[in-house]
Structure 1
Amino acid sequence: MSNLLQIGELAKQTGLSIRTLRYYDEIGLLVPSHRTEAEYRLYSEADIARLQQILSLRQLGFALKEIRECLENPEFSLPQVIDLHLARLQEQMAVSRSLFTQLSQLAQQLQTSQSVAVEDLMTTMETITMTQQYLTQEQHDLLAARLQQGQAEWQQFLTQARSQLAEGRNLNDPEVQQMAWQWRTSILEFVGGDLQLYEALTQLYQQAGAEAASWGTLDGPTLEYILKAVAMLSMREEFVGSTLGRLAPATQAVLTQGQSAMRNKLQIHDFMGTEGLLLGLLAVETSVAAQALGEQGVDFATAATLFRDWLADCATSPAEIPANMPFTPRAHRVLELAAQQAQQQGDDQITPEHLLLGILQEGETGGGMAMRVLQACQVDCDRLKQQLRP
């Protein structure tokens, strides 16, 4: 068992994403030989050897379905792989030669008559489509299968987005920002961490239209609203990124302790929400913010227990949690508000007290998991604000 690798270790050593390895497991292409009692994936030397074959075949241009058929075929041999790849290259070269000939003829017609027959244009456009199609057949089949698997969840998401659009919700609305974050996260999971597939899908959305890209389930106005919300989310993330350099050392310790608590103690999920911020504040006990929370009966053990009970369904292997956990939209909003609190108070650095004030202010619009803890502990928020402000 000492030679077994967890999924995070294998991903790091091969350069593949954890999402890709998970997807290979889901489709039966690379099923880990072992699992821990907690059902965490463990890969043996034989699994790693199979992964090497998969990557080699992918490099040759094979579809995942073809790779599985090859590896499951007892008569599988490398010469067969090369012959199949050569045949595919010959087909591509034939299409390219045809396109070259047609474009040459069009150029000659334009030089002599300044016009081109409609039939010739149509034929050329068809050939261009063949050589520059947005998705390969494998990619199309892969996305269609994933869309089918998550059909109910997808429709629920679209219903939510359409409802927010119909209500005229502001793009800064916390629920709209959460929707945008969910969209972006889901799209990355949808393509299994394959950036080439993501780029092809994005190009299809932009040039062929939302209906074509999502098989008729996503209309243009809804897509435009979602993409605007995602753009707003990205702008806010950039703003927060620029403020991280203004964190006081104690606040940097809060973020570090919060991530550590989420990863090692709670093992809840692979992103940093307001719950992580609150746990970090409570872990750095020397701050005024932690002491003010403690006076009202909120400590690390109490908050951790509540989060563990509420988020039991979100358990994640520590090996699958990234070193730098991404912030959720609510956490970004809290950091943004904390920066505003520091500016209003004339402080150059963002302190833990500013961060807690950000949690309280964000909580006025509904709040996240941190606000739920404060409410469960019956914290007097007005009194808390008074203690935190100079």
Structure 2
Amino acid sequence: MANLLQIGELAKQTGLSIRTLRYYDEIGLLVPSHRTEAEYRLYSEADIARLQQILSLRQLGFALKEIRECLENPEYSLPQVIDLHLARLQEQMAVSRSLFAQLSKLAQQLQSSQSVAVEDLITTMETITMTQQYLTQEQQNLLEGRLNQDQQAELQQFLTQVRSYQAEGRDLNDPEVQQMAWQWREGLLSLVGGDLQFYEALMRLYQQEGAEAASRGRLDGPTMEYILKAVAMLSVREELSVREELVGFALGRLAPETYAVLTQGQAAMRKLQLNFLGTEGLLLGLLAVETSVAAQALGEQGVGFASAETLIRDWLANHTVPPTDIPTEIPFTPRTCRILELAAKQVQRQGDGQITPQHLLLGILQEGETGGGLAMHVLQTCGVDCDRLKQQLNNPC
């Protein structure tokens, strides 16, 4: 463990940003081999060697998707890398031929008319060159076809309205600003036509060249930032609204045993001097209601209330400070809300009438696949076979 690097140290040594390393983790390109109990990324020597391969392939002009496919191929070899590089060079040659044709056409137009300013000519040439670094010819044709004169006029009118909101200092939660964000998002979806690669190419163009250059002067950086913040706020509001509906649905569909689980979970949290109901509280509540199928399934794998409580108490003693005030109604943590959402989705999908303790335990296991809280730490410490546990819960005798 002594040779492991934290993400900040690795970023400093390689010159990459922490954001880039996190993105590589999210897309599965460079997943750190280790994590701390607090979920901090730790990179091994093998991870660093893989990163060097990634950076080398990036220098050859490979896309991240191509790099991942290359590194995940067990038959990965130097000849394959060369073949891929040759294919990329062929694409670049095709782009150069297209650029040559467009500039030749522009030169012919200039011979018949001297009205184009030198500055405009240079800007046009730079725009063509820059765009073709990111978009294929097919994508450029689609972009030009979908941004006709009427749509460009609508875009200009839209941006004028956005700038007026900026000048007024409108809050991002303002209904009109949120409507603007919705229009932008819908317009972008319509522009790319559901093509993820087209969208990613446009985003690379904006990120690396800047809003003003990428939009040919139509959109400045501050306006783009204002729009993106409003869109982010809209997305969060929509997500929270959906979650609130699901949690409300879940709380309205609790079976008597499940209600008892939450009650026992809150009691266990008070006993541990905690002012929230986290995944550990759900687990203790499930174990406390011994008659449920979930408790019996856990018991068969050696997990009992006393042993789980001891593990949780020991972990909390080393990682938390007891709060000074514990409310009468202990609130749910975000992870607990997420587990209730997952349980509600199971009920909706299966057509069951009520949320049972089995649904809650399945929610803990499902949420644990993307990280998991203290409940998953307890199950893993106890050596629980999560796959077998899922099968047993989905197919109770």
Q: Tell me whether the two structures share a fold, i.e. TM-score over 0.5.
A: no
TM-score (norm. length: structure 1) = 0.42
TM-score (norm. length: structure 2) = 0.41
Higher RCO by CA contacts (8 Å cutoff, separation 6 or greater): 1
